Homo-oligomer: A and B are copies of this chain.
């Protein structure tokens, strides 16, 4: 069963209805499985497919998908929430490198995270959400630009 079909059944088994709007939004999320889309970014893509769907519907749908544990939702650094299919559906275990300069998000996988998650769970009783370890800093590109600017000065 495809990711898409898998999620469709999740929605159908919930108390929420599977509307054309929700299907369209889901398609965009599946097509952009490697991106971390904000509501506005998704809305922008959506406009090309179907200009009649409102931004409020996008927000409401993302909320519902989050509630159904289809999506992760994290606000990374600049106050804009970004959404991403959860591990259960996209089958990829990864974490995030978030640049505080350009707000770009890179993904990262490493066995060290598994240890960290176990430690935090046993020591603090803290249940780590999947894919939600965020490391804030400055990405290579921004650091290079910074060095360049310093040279010019």
Contact = CB atoms under 8 A, between A and B. Distances in A.
Nearest to A110: B119
A85 to B, nearest CB: 16
B136 A124 contact: no
A77 B42 CA distance: 19
B112 A97 contact: no
Interface residues of A, number: 35
Interface in A133-153: 133-140, 143
Interface of A: 74-81, 97, 100, 106, 108, 110, 112-113, 115-116, 119-120, 124-129, 132-140, 143
- Pick the 5 closest A-B CB pairs, nearest first: A125-B140, A132-B136, A128-B137, A134-B134, A127-B138
Given A116-B116, A127-B143, A134-B136, 8 more contacts: A74-B77, A112-B115, A126-B138, A127-B138, A128-B135, A128-B136, A133-B135, A133-B136
28 contacts: A74-B77, A74-B136, A75-B76, A75-B77, A75-B79, A79-B79, A79-B80, A79-B81, A97-B124, A100-B132, A108-B120, A110-B116, A110-B119, A112-B112, A112-B115, A112-B116, A113-B116, A116-B135, A120-B135, A126-B135, A126-B139, A128-B135, A128-B137, A129-B137, A133-B133, A133-B134, A133-B136, A134-B136
